[in-house]
Amino acid sequence: MPSETKVYYPNPNFSKNAYINSFSQYREMYLQSLDNPEAFWGEIIKQFHWETPVEYDNFFRYNFDIRKGPIYTKWFDGATTNICYNVLDRIVQRGYGDKVAYYWEGNHPDDYSRLTYRKLLEEVCKFSNVLKSKGIKKGDRVAVYMPMILEAVITLLACTRIGAVHSVVFAGFSADSFAERVIDCGAEIIVTADGVWRGPKFLGLKSICDQVMDKCARRNHNIRHCIVVAHLKRVTSPDNSQKSNKVHMKEGRDIWWNDAVADSSITCPPVWTNSEDPLFMLYTSGSTGKPKGVLHTVGGYMVYTAATFKCVFDYKSKDVYWCTADIGWITGHSYGVYGPLANAATCVLFEGTPFYPDNDRFWTVIEKYKVNQFYTAPTAIRALMKYGDDLVRRHDVSSLKVIGSVGEPINSEAWLWYYKVVGGEKCSVVDTFWQTETGGHVLTPLPGATPMKPGSATFPFFGVQPALLDESGKEIEGEGEGYLVFKRPWPGIMRSLFGNHERYEATYFSKFPGYYCTGDGARRDADGYFWITGRIDDMLNVSGHLMSTAEVESLLTEHKAIAEAAVVSKPHPIKGECLYCFVITSNETHFDDNIKKELSLLIRERIGAFATPDVIHNTPSLPKTRSGKIMRRILRKVAVNDRNLGDVSTLADSTVIETLFASRPVCS
């Protein structure tokens, strides 16, 4: 493979001043992190405030082997701390009170503001006091459905200050998806905003929450309060309309944020939590359909996100850092909030899209704030690449030092464009592989140390021990391809699935006892570099959003016209993957454009707009084995119109193949 032959070395001028400045230093530290985790992490944890110190004989314990009993991971158990105190009070005490924590950049370029660490701390305390006054205590869940505004960060930190567990749901999920998550996590309070503009599109968040609260009530789940940020009246709307500003506020239940915080004190003592107390939960798609509430705990997550942020972005105190990920995803949590703040970083928080008001918005923002570290997703890179180099070159993006990628495999073409055009061939590209479940980066280059290969997430971070397994569970040594697993826990790994520890064990630890199974495939080349090959379970990754084929299929068959459905992923030049849905109509139903539109709408409404299928293919039959299992391998070939089907001898009826190709929709 040509991409493997060319290696890109970190810029020597950059390496000189980097925390980890050579590959040999990385190797040495890496080996130490495995040989002596107590010494390695013991040094790192000193920077944090522990109300009750970490005991070295209780440093970390775990069991990854289901045959030996329940799965667990514990780091610094018994030590007490508070993450909010560590990312705010501690930073202010160190003299960074007047440093900007966030530059907020609105959807419209005329809207922007900033918040210092001191002010952020005050705002957080005020909101913690509000939550307390509404009866929220340690361990209670708070559902968050918010746009990329400062109050979103404030809400998260206010929860953690009092030991409450935030459960953020991406504000692009539909009312159904949100309601299901609210009920599952048992939240009785929702924090939201009246609405938001994303590019030219309006999203009425409060009215979605109204539907959610109704749905919850019908299922006997009572939402006591909904706290609403009045966001719309302070921003510039793309079409100068005021019409969307009106929201319904239910007396006694719904409260405006500003009214709630008006008389609130700007101080609030932190609640000391055990290192292993729950910190937050975040839902991720499960391959059986029902979303999984990934649970992270305080101490390990705090230490791990702080350490990865510092090393992977090589953040220095005068730098400005920008992560474009929405706060509704793990990247927004770990590298939009906790990791950067723990390092007293100055961050950009951006509300809009890369395409509004023009396709050069990202480059405009980088120029405006002189961003030094930029972290985005391959889907955005591919979309922007298509507008050509000139849009980038029109802007001064020379402040950039490190440029990162996350969420899906980055193809070498997009990598090279990012490296050359955006990074000007002087910035390291950090292709960070990780998951909601891993809490932080697990495979990643270090910008001053790791020679890069376009499209490879390179090597493990400190404390992380990857392996590749074959189908029988045997470790593959040296070059090869297999299941990507991890042999031991690092501090940031998830601890459980909320309220369902058995599912946690079954999903991640049962296939290969003794290992955490990522669900991704990977290849190791002759130089030891890891290349992620994508999900091996029935999951799709559309623009970095994970979803399961099962959840889309079960929705499609809810439509009265549809008898059976099968969904596969199809490669897409920008989104990475897109949904290709095969549907069989029920008896006598004639498939037409109306049904097609209804199916699309059904998926948008029930999951969210990001899940809208690209192709809906009506077919009279699906390829099945004699035992009735759908052969998705064949469907994936049909989706890309590739007739090299390989072995089809296990098909119950081989005529179905011709039918499938013949019925392919014209523009798919």
485 sits near ligand WTA (criterion: CB under 6 A): no
Of 14-22, 360-368, 445-453, 518-526, the segment contacting ligand WTA by CB under 6 A is 518-526
Q: Is 406 in the site for ligand WTA (CB under 6 A)?
A: yes
- Secondary element (H or E) of residue 29: helix 23-35
Name which of 344, 411, 351 is nearest 377 in CA terms.
Answer: 411
Task: Pick the piece of the chain touching ligand WTA (CB under 6 A) from 192-200, 404-412, 569-577, 589-597.
Answer: 404-412
Give the strand pairing for 189-193 and 196-198: unpaired
Asked if 547 is part of the footprint of ligand WTA (rule: CB under 6 A), the reply reads no
CB of 432 to ligand WTA, least distance (A): 5
Answer for which of 187, 391, 517, 546 binds ligand WTA (CB under 6 A) is: 546
SS3 38: helix
Comparing CA positions, the residue from 337, 292, 281, 24 lying closest to residue 150 is 337
Task: Indicate the residue among 96 and 335 with the shorter CB distance to ligand WTA.
Answer: 335
| CA–CA dist 96, 116 (Å, integer) | 8
Cβ atoms of 308 and 461 closer than 8 Å: yes
Stretch 262-291 residues interacting with ligand WTA (CB under 6 A): 284
Burial of 376: CB neighbours in 10 Å, binned 0-12, 13-18, 19+: buried
Pick between residue 331 and residue 585 the one whose CB is nearest to ligand WTA. 331
Provide the residue type at 158 as one letter. A
Q: Where are the alpha helices (DSSP H) in 337-469?
A: 339-342, 361-369, 378-385, 390-393, 412-417
CA 74, chain centre distance (Å): 23
Min dist CB 321 to ligand WTA, Å, is 17
| DSSP character string of 154-180 | HHHHHHHHTT-EEEE--TTB-HHHHHH
Shortest Cβ 374–ligand WTA spacing (Å): 15
* Shortest reach from residue 553's CB to ligand WTA, in Å: 20
Asked if 535 is part of the footprint of ligand WTA (rule: CB under 6 A), the reply reads yes
Give the binding range for ligand WTA (CB under 6 A) out of 116-124, 229-237, 513-521, 617-625: 513-521
- Please name the helix (run of DSSP H) or strand (run of DSSP E) that holds residue 486, with its range, or none: strand 480-486
Minimum separation from the CB atom of position 194 to ligand WTA (A):
28
Is there binding between residue 538 and ligand WTA (CB under 6 A)? no
Query: Closest separation between CB of residue 443 and ligand WTA, Å?
Result: 7
Contact segment (CB under 6 A) with ligand WTA among 219-227, 402-410, 497-505, 658-666 equals 402-410
- Under the criterion CB under 6 A, does residue 126 sit at the interface with ligand WTA? no
Does the protein bind ligand WTA through residue 409 (CB under 6 A)?
Answer: yes
Nearer to ligand WTA, 273 or 518 (CB): 518
SS3 306: helix
CB closer to ligand WTA out of 187 and 547: 547
459 binds ligand WTA (CB under 6 A): no
For ligand WTA, give the closer residue by CB, 76 or 375. 375
Alpha helices in 67-116 (DSSP H): 83-84, 90-91
Residue 532 binds to ligand WTA (criterion: CB under 6 A): yes
Q: Is position 431 an interface residue for ligand WTA (rule: CB under 6 A)?
A: yes
Pick 59 or 322: Cβ nearer ligand WTA: 322
CB of 155 to ligand WTA, least distance (A): 21
- Tokens representing 60 are 């970390």
- The footprint of ligand WTA on residues 316-345 (CB under 6 A) is 329-331
| DSSP codes of every residue in 586-643 | -TTPPP-HHHHHHHHHHHHHHTBGGG--SEEEE-S---BBTT--B-HHHHHHHHTT--
The distance of closest approach from Cβ of residue 49 to ligand WTA in the complex, given in angstroms and rounded to an integer, is: 28
Q: For ligand WTA, which stretch binds (CB under 6 A), given 43-51, 91-99, 113-121, 400-408? A: 400-408
Minimum CB–partner distance for residue 522 and ligand WTA (Å): 9
- When asked if residue 166 is in the footprint of ligand WTA (CB under 6 A), the reply is no
Minimum distance of ligand WTA from residue 388's CB (angstroms): 25
43 φ/ψ angles, rounded to the nearest 5 degrees? -70, -45
Q: Which residue is nearest to ligand WTA (CB)?
A: 436
Please state, in angstroms and rounded to a whole number, the distance separating the CA atoms of residues 469 and 520.
11
Neighbours of 73 (CB within 10 A): 23
- The verdict on whether omega for the bond into residue 357 sits within 30 degrees of 0, i.e. cis, is yes
Q: Are strands 428-432 and 402-406 parallel, antiparallel or unpaired?
A: parallel
Question: Which one of 60, 434, 529, 580 is in contact with ligand WTA (CB under 6 A)?
Answer: 434
The alpha carbon dihedral of 81, 84, 90, 93 has a sign of negative
Give whichever of 282 and 555 is closer to ligand WTA, judged by the CB atom. 282
Please write down the HEC assignment for all residues of 221-269: CCCCEEEEECCHHHCCCCCCCCHHHCCCCCCCCEEEHHHHHCCCCCCCC
267, 455 Cβ separation under 8 angstroms: no
Among 175, 327, 402, 457, binds ligand WTA (CB under 6 A): 457
User: What's the closest the beta carbon of residue 533 comes to ligand WTA, in angstroms?
Assistant: 9
Site membership for ligand WTA, residue 432 (CB under 6 A) = yes
Cβ-based nearer residue to ligand WTA, 11 or 541: 541
Check: CB of residue 320 under 8 Å from CB of residue 367. Answer: no
CA distance 421 to 424: 5
Q: How far is the CB of 640 from ligand WTA (least distance, A)?
A: 20
Count interface residues toward ligand WTA (CB under 6 A).
Answer: 22
One residue of 435, 554, 621, 659 binding ligand WTA per CB under 6 A: 435
Question: Residue numbers of the site for ligand WTA (CB under 6 A)?
Answer: 284, 329-331, 406-409, 431-436, 457, 518-520, 532, 535, 541, 546
